[in-house]
Amino acid sequence: EPEVTQTPSHQVTQMGQEVILRCVPISNHLYFYWYRQILGQKVEFLVSFYNNEISEKSEIFDDQFSVERPDGSNFTLKIRSTKLEDSAMYFCASQNDALYEQYFGPGTRLTVT
């Protein structure tokens, strides 16, 4: 069964460093999302992406964040200068146009020290 994959599973970085989280969505999906879950808190929407552009973003998704679909298969989330409060589990999700179902990847745990 097709699935969303994410790499790395765990990333540790120092405050102020840039990180890139990678996702490979399901191949025939058209809509892509990033969510995050700070430890012990709810899953929060960050950004949605369709037709090679951002369709919606949350207040969390400020100028430090960017997304890209560089090669038609990968979907990346970049944090330019990480802060301690960026420590969280980051989930990628993708959606087929017709089924209104978002399929989530296993997540990348980002730890900022």
Partner 1 sequence: AQSVTQLGSHVSVSEGALVLLRCNYSSSVPPYLFWYVQYPNQGLQLLLKYTTGATLVKGINGFEAEFKKSETSFHLTKPSAHMSDAAEYFCAVGPGTASKLTFGTGTRLQVTL
Amino acid letter at 102? Q
Omega before residue 8 within 30° of 0, cis: yes
In angstroms, give the least distance from the CB of 58 to partner 1. Answer: 8
Cβ closer to partner 1: 84 or 100? Answer: 100
Structure tokens at 52: 């090679």
Write down the least CB distance from residue 16 to partner 1, Å.
28
Quote the least distance from Cβ 45 to partner 1, whole Å.
Answer: 4
CB atoms inside a 10 Å sphere around CB 99: 9
Instruction: Look at residue 56 and give its three-state secondary structure.
Output: strand
Q: Of 105 and 112, which CB lies nearer to partner 1 in the complex structure?
A: 105
Binding site residues, partner 1, CB under 8 A: 4, 30-31, 33, 35, 41-45, 48, 50, 55-56, 58, 91, 93, 95, 97, 100-107
Query: Shortest Cβ distance from residue 15 to partner 1 (Å)?
Result: 25
Pick 31 or 65: Cβ nearer partner 1: 31
Tokens coding 102: 């978002």
Q: How far is residue 9's CA from residue 88's CA, in Å, rounded to a whole number? A: 12
